[in-house]
Each structure stands twice: as C-alpha cells, then as structure tokens.
Amino acid sequence: MIFFFYNIYTFKKNLHMAHIFFQLGSQVDISEEELYSTFNTETEIFSGFAFGELPKQKVKKKFDELGGIMRAGVVLGEEKSFEGVQKGITEHVIRNAKKGKKMKIGIFIGSKQGWKNFGIGLQKTIKQASKGDEYEENKFSVRIVNRDAKNLDSYAVHKEKLLEKGNFEYVCIPLPTGWAWGISIGVQKAFDFAARDMKKPVRDMKVGLMPPKLARIMINMTRDESGNLPAKIYDPFCGMGTVLLEGMSLGLKVAGSDLSKKMVEATKKNTQWYFNYQERAQRMNMTAEEKAERDTRFKQLGKEQKYDKFNEFNIDEDYINNKKSTEEKRDPFFLRDIFIKDATKSFYPDQQKKINKSVIVGEGFLGKIFHKPINETQYSIQKEELFPMYRQFLFQISKENISKIVFAFPFWQGEDKKTYSFVSELIEFVEKLGLKLIKSPIRYIREGQVVGREIVTFEKK
C-alpha cells in the first residue's frame, strides 16, 4: 500500500496546511461523510483513523462541532518501531519544554494491544535526554499523566488540560509499516453530548431516541459546499427533540413538529431547558465588558443581580424579555416553532412560515421493535405500515421551500445475514418529485440491533 506520508515535506512548505489525523467514531462510514461535508476534503482511512491535508486552525475551530470524530491532531512523524516513536516524542518534549515550567503530557495508543511499558520508558528517555551539560540551567519538569499508557478518556484529557498551551497529548497510530505519531488539537467533549442526552427533563426509553452524536453528524451533513451550516433546521418527526437540541448547540435556529401532542410537549420542555442551560453557560463565560453591560441593563431595570444562582430548570422571564427587545436576532422565543403536525398532511400557511427556507434533518417512526433478525413476512408487514407513510411525507415536504433533506429511514437485519430496506424504492419515487439524491445512502446500526438507520441526502432541484 502506498502511504501518503511521502509528501510531508511538500505540504510543510505551505504553512497553512498540516498533515491532520482524525480518530473516527465506531461508525466509520458516517464519520467519514461528516468529515467530508465539514472540510470538503477527501481523507484516507487507516486503522480507524482518517488522514488528510488541512489547515490546522480550521480543524481546531470546527472540531467541537463534529459528532462522529473522537480526536483530531497533527502528524509529526513516522517511525518503524516503538523505540523510534519514543525517541521522536522525547525530542519533541525537550524542544518544547520551558525552563522553570511544568509540562503535562498524555499518551494515546491507537491500537487495541496497547504498549505496556511505553510510558515508563518514555519517562526514562526524557530524563536521560534532559541530563546534558546544560541540565541544571534548563531545568524543567515533565509529568506523564498516564505512565501505564492506558488511554485516557476525553474527560481526563480536558480535566488535565492536555490540549492547552505547554501541555501535549501524544497520539500513536499503527500503520502497515510502523507507526505515525502526533499531537492532539481536539478531543471530543463526550460529556457535553452526555449532558444533553441525560440531563434533559423529559426522557423516555420506550420512544426510540436518536443518539445525539448521530443527530450532530446528520446536521453536519447538511453543510453547503463551503462547509457552512444552514441557518435553520426542521425535524418533522421531532419526538423528544434530540435533533433540535443538537441544532441549538451549534447555534442554529430550530423548528420541529410531531404527530403526538405528548411528544410536542416533551420537545418544548427539553428545548426550553436547553435554552436556559446555554444561557447560563454563556453568562458564566461573559467577558468583563459584557458583564458590565449586563449589570447596567439590570440596574436600570431595578433588578437584583443574582445570576450566578440561576437555576437552569426555571425560565428567567425577565432576562428573556429584556433580551427580546435588545437582541431579537437570537430569537429566544424559538419555542413557537414547535408544533403538532402529521408529517403526511400538507402544511398550513402559518406552519409554512415556520419552516420556510430550512433544511430537514430527522428520522421517522422506525416501526416495531424486534429482538432477533426478521423474516420475509415480518418485513412485508413493516413495509406495508411504513412505506406509504414515508412516501406521503416526502411528497408533502417536496412542495415546500426547503433546500436539503438529510433523513434516516429504517432498514432491518434479516435471517441468513440478509438486510431489508425500501430506501431504493423511496429514492425512485422522490426523483419524480424534483428531489435529487446527492450522496449514496449510508447505513448506521448499533451492534446487536435488528433495526438500523439508512441515512439519505436529497437536494431540491
């Protein structure tokens, strides 16, 4: 296999570009698609990592927007052996260590076997290398956070501040002929996804909730050719609002509807909670000027300033009302864009206004829950129930002023390793409606599950 590494010196000439690695989530195909939509660059996949030449600052800036990528970083070297990597990292540490400063480093080994004594060995080589004649003069301290070289989870990487200036997380990636190594520039804040998933006030395991990371990936798949996100997304089967929360977390306007009043209420509560949660986080991160501006505003209103005690589960009406008059553009009243609607029926004019110019992201009803692979008859029953509903939904949505649809349809694991899907029939149907398939469908299924999701992207012609 010809590896890309031969041209490391070529792209070093272009200062903006770096050789970037991405550690992909468990669903490789969809993570790759997310990368492509976000950075508009083909990547080369190896050992669960994607590699490409990209501007480092752009990757850094957009990293937190991604859902399917666990890590990103810059490749700094390629070595044939474990010892070579050790040497390369040691040299990098010595070059970057600052006199009188403490440096913290972590190690991430991208292979299943791990490297038992790597951390201890590295500590030794760093000590040796720093003991030259000038050692006393250049005194510095390096602490390896995980000397056992057991990979740190994302929470630990952030807690130990390994991505901050002066500290490093070194990543070692297996290649066919040895190892690539580099430093991380982004590590997924898995705890943020978990917070949105677990802390939201209304949850019901019986309703097929979408994994928040999948929702985030699908939103990223709606990006335009320059990698920009749409201004507004609409989920016509919003359930408990997973897609909407992910949209809000990216700063997008959101709209959602569902057939069930109970679900609409749940989405309203969840999006309201998340709005407060974001507001609270934002206020905590305000700059001194913003705080002063806020304080003046509230003094004028004769209010007490008790914002640090803000309770994330209660709406702060005064704050929001005040904000409405000054900052209409953030539209705190996004809740009005969540409504009851049967996705197979046509839109009323007021509903049309709410979804106007948005991009559709969502998944519909996935049908019956199965615990083992299904047979032909079971599939026919599912198809009979779901296919006409989806067809009708696509017919209705095709008439609206929307530009793109990224939607997950169900597919099923059958007996004898067969899979069942009606997606190709749906595609045939929608092409007659003026919707164009712009990416090959991508399948997503969790291990052991019978129903998977087939993600399809259409554009309005």
Ligand X SMILES: C[S@@+](CC[C@H](N)C(=O)[O-])C[C@H]1O[C@@H](n2cnc3c(N)ncnc32)[C@H](O)[C@@H]1O
CA dihedral 245, 251, 252, 255 (to 10 degrees): 40
Site membership for ligand X, residue 246 (CB under 6 A) = no
Q: What is the DSSP letter of 335?
A: G
Select the residue interacting with ligand X from 8, 129, 209, 250 (CB under 6 A).
209
Size of the site for ligand X (CB under 6 A): 23
Min separation Cβ 270 and ligand X, Å = 8
Instruction: With contacts defined by CB under 6 A, name the span among 107-115, 131-139, 149-157, 206-214 that binds ligand X.
Output: 206-214
Phi first, then psi, for residue 343 (nearest 5°) are: -65, -15
78 vs 180: CA distance, rounded Å: 4
Residues listed for the chain: 461
Q: Which is nearer to ligand X, 194 or 207 (CB)?
A: 207
Min separation Cβ 343 and ligand X, Å = 3
Give, to the nearest 10 degrees, the angle between helix 190-199 and helix 242-249.
Answer: 140
Phi first, then psi, for residue 33 (nearest 5°) are: -65, -40
Give, to the nearest 10 degrees, the angle between helix 190-199 and helix 261-284.
Answer: 130
Select the residue interacting with ligand X from 30, 66, 126, 263 (CB under 6 A).
263
Site membership for ligand X, residue 154 (CB under 6 A) = no
59 vs 422: CA distance, rounded Å: 37
Select the residue interacting with ligand X from 183, 187, 210, 217 (CB under 6 A).
210
Per-residue contact string for residues 161-200; x = within reach of ligand X by CB under 6 A: ----------------------------------------
Region 383-442 residues binding ligand X, contact defined as CB under 6 A: 389
Strands 404-413 and 359-363: parallel
246 vs 218: CA distance, rounded Å: 10
Strands 178-187 and 338-340: unpaired
Instruction: With contacts defined by CB under 6 A, name the span among 68-76, 238-246, 275-283, 423-431 that binds ligand X.
Output: 238-246
Site membership for ligand X, residue 214 (CB under 6 A) = no
Min separation Cβ 197 and ligand X, Å = 10
Phi first, then psi, for residue 397 (nearest 5°) are: -70, -30
Site membership for ligand X, residue 258 (CB under 6 A) = yes
Which residues are within 8 A (CB) of 460 and not within 5 positions of it... i.e. 6 or more apart? 398, 402, 403, 404, 434, 435, 436
> Is 383:411 a contact under the CB 8 Å cutoff?
no
Residue 144, exposed/middle/buried by CB under 10 A (0-12, 13-18, 19+)? Answer: buried
Phi first, then psi, for residue 409 (nearest 5°) are: -105, 155
Site membership for ligand X, residue 208 (CB under 6 A) = yes
Site membership for ligand X, residue 366 (CB under 6 A) = yes
Select the residue interacting with ligand X from 78, 79, 337, 363 (CB under 6 A).
363
Select the residue interacting with ligand X from 344, 403, 419, 421 (CB under 6 A).
344
Site membership for ligand X, residue 260 (CB under 6 A) = yes
Site membership for ligand X, residue 219 (CB under 6 A) = no
Q: Is 52 helix (H, G, I), strand (E, B) or coil?
A: strand
Min separation Cβ 341 and ligand X, Å = 6
> Is 406:361 a contact under the CB 8 Å cutoff?
yes
Min separation Cβ 113 and ligand X, Å = 37
Q: Looking at beta carbons, which residue is closest to ligand X?
A: 239
Instruction: With contacts defined by CB under 6 A, name the span among 108-116, 167-175, 337-345, 447-455 that binds ligand X.
Output: 337-345
Site membership for ligand X, residue 343 (CB under 6 A) = yes
Other beta carbons less than 10 A from residue 76's beta carbon: 18
Site membership for ligand X, residue 365 (CB under 6 A) = yes
Residues that bind ligand X (CB under 6 A): 207-210, 237, 239-243, 258-260, 263, 342-344, 362-366, 389
